[in-house]
């Protein structure tokens, strides 16, 4: 029989059961004549008794799981009788309270546990704490004294998962050499910012600066025969060019350095704050020597040198087009053979100048030739439209005398230029 129950002679089963479950037993009814036995099953069910009075605390943003428990005959079904569960949490019929709470606070509610025998309720409460804030310290410093470093975006200490940006400001004449994050080089020169994303731990950042390498500019001296040639062939950008040593040229007086080949802009040394490549041209004046009076013997009267002919350029054809393509100069739009203007020129070593020659005719200029040697284009001469410009540096290398420069074209007629070098 179920514990706590008794059966008296009158057949009454009574008492307070102390245990639930199904109990099977046999009862006998008898009199003076006979008896009768009967197997009987008694099912004792108990009403659920909630034994969990309060659930554990939760945290915002952290998954929550807790199962309520009750004493009673299964199955026991759970539900919310009254009140409000914490936002984000739900109670299943088997007593599982789960979810992820988005807000903090203390929440009270009543749960109900029920089975076939009845139901029971309990008032419970759950405390949801604020989300735990994890921070990491970002330590930063500068190697040396070439600049400064600061946080320009984000907080320090930085919350876990956040980002932070550090900016390096180089001092005058310096640039960033490298960034070091936790003893590892992460970025090299010329990068002035470093961003650390999704921070999960502390960081130690250092930045190192270095002097900006100087920009080297070229200094070119056109001495026009003078010696010694100046030694300074380069200068740092922003630097200076010192006055060169005095030069000499036999038979000439040095008149100074100029910034242009036409000797219009005189150079003044030292030149400070150089910003680009520079060229200088030396100007010379031929010395005027006092010659002794000539001594003549009978019959030795010198024949006077005829006057130098006037150099008159031939008329130019206004319809001539002189084009450059594929490294060659092409003359078009004229008829007949090629000619040059002027055909004869004078070059004074005391006043060196580039010589410009105009090409007239219908042919293709291949190159200039002197003494059976092809001149080097863009060094000894250049081509500008229908003009050929012969460099003063090349002509200055010729001794006094008369020379012929051959204009070599594709056709049979190659015009010659006569150059008389004086001084």
pLDDT, mean of residues 282-303: 57
Given 77, 94, 129, which residue is the final one in a domain?
Answer: 129
End-to-end CA distance of the chain: give it in Å, rounded.
148
Strands of 227-306 (E only): list them: 234-236, 240-241, 252-258, 271-272, 278-286
Same domain flag for 340 and 388: yes
> Is 223 part of a structural domain of the chain?
yes
Same domain flag for 124 and 58: yes
> Is 309 part of a structural domain of the chain?
no
> Is 312 part of a structural domain of the chain?
no
Per residue in 185-202, pLDDT (tens digit) is 886 557 899 999 999 999
Per residue in 202-215, pLDDT (tens digit) is 999 999 999 988 88
Same domain flag for 77 and 169: no
Given 190, 211, 232, which residue is the final one in a domain?
Answer: 211
Same domain flag for 224 and 179: no
Given 160, 190, 211, which residue is the final one in a domain?
Answer: 211
Helix (H, G, I), strand (E, B) or coil at 68: coil
Average pLDDT over all residues of the chain:
82
Q: Exposed/middle/buried for 409, CB within 10 Å: 0-12, 13-18, 19+?
A: buried
Give the range with max mean pLDDT: 27-31, 277-281, 359-363.
277-281
Look up the CATH number of the domain holding residue 382. 2.60.40.10
Number of structural domains in the chain: 5
Question: Domain containing 368: what range?
Answer: 321-422
Same domain flag for 139 and 61: no
Q: Model-level pTM?
A: 0.37
Same domain flag for 30 and 66: no
Same domain flag for 389 and 414: yes
Look up the CATH number of the domain holding residue 238. 2.60.40.4270
Same domain flag for 328 and 365: yes
pLDDT at 311: 40
User: Phi-psi category of 332—alpha, beta or left, where left has phi over 0 and alpha has psi -120 to 50?
Assistant: beta
Helix (H, G, I), strand (E, B) or coil at 128: strand
Same domain flag for 192 and 231: no
Same domain flag for 54 and 106: yes
Same domain flag for 347 and 400: yes
Look up the CATH number of the domain holding residue 178. 2.60.40
Same domain flag for 332 and 278: no
**In terms of pLDDT, which residue wins out, 49 or 410?**
410
Whole-angstrom CA distances from 403 to 21, 213, 218, 263, 371 are 136, 50, 34, 26, 9
> Is 67 part of a structural domain of the chain?
yes
> Is 12 part of a structural domain of the chain?
yes
Per residue in 235-272, pLDDT (tens digit) is 998 899 999 988 888 888 888 999 999 999 999 999 99
């Amino acid at each position: 029989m179920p514990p706590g129950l008794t059966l008296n002679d009158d057949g009454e089963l009574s008492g307070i059961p102390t245990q639930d479950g199904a109990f099977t037993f046999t009862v006998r009814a008898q009199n003076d004549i006979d008896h009768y036995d009967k197997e009987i099953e008694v099912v004792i069910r108990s009403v659920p008794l909630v034994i969990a009075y309060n659930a554990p605390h939760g945290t915002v943003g952290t998954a929550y799981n807790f199962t309520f428990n009750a004493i009673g005959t299964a199955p026991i079904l759970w539900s919310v009788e009254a009140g409000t569960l914490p936002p984000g949490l739900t109670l299943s019929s088997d007593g599982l309270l789960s979810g992820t709470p988005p807000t903090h606070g203390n929440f009270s509610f009543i749960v109900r546990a029920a089975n076939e025998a009845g139901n029971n309720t309990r008032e419970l409460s759950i405390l949801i704490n604020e989300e735990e804030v994890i921070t990491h310290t970002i330590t930063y410093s500068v190697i040396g004294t070439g600049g400064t470093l600061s946080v320009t975006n984000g907080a320090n200490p930085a919350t876990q998962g956040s980002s932070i940006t550090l900016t390096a400001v180089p001092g005058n004449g310096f640039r960033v050499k490298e960034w070091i994050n936790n003893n590892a080089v992460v970025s090299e020169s010329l990068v002035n910012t470093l961003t650390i994303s999704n921070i999960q731990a502390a960081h130690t950042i250092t930045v190192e600066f270095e002097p900006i390498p100087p920009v080297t500019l070229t200094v070119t001296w056109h001495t026009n025969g003078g010696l010694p040639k100046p030694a300074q062939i380069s200068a740092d950008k922003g630097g200076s060019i010192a006055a060169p040593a005095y030069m000499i040229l036999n038979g000439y007086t040095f008149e100074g350095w100029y910034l242009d080949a036409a000797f219009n802009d005189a150079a003044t040394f030292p030149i400070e704050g150089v910003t680009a490549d520079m060229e200088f041209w030396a100007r010379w004046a031929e010395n005027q020597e006092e010659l002794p009076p000539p001594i003549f013997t009978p019959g030795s009267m010198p024949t006077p040198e005829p006057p130098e002919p006037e150099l008159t350029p031939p008329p130019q054809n206004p319809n001539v087009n002189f084009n450059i393509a594929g490294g060659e100069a092409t003359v078009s739009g004229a008829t007949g053979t090629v000619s040059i203007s002027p055909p004869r020129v004078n070059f004074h070593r005391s006043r060196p100048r580039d010589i410009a020659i105009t090409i007239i005719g219908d042919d293709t200029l291949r190159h200039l030739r002197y003494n059976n040697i092809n001149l080097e284009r863009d060094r000894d001469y250049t081509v500008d439209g229908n003009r050929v410009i012969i460099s003063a540096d090349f002509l200055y290398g010729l001794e006094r005398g008369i020379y012929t420069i051959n204009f070599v074209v594709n056709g049979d007629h190659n015009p010659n230029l006569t150059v008389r070098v004086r001084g």
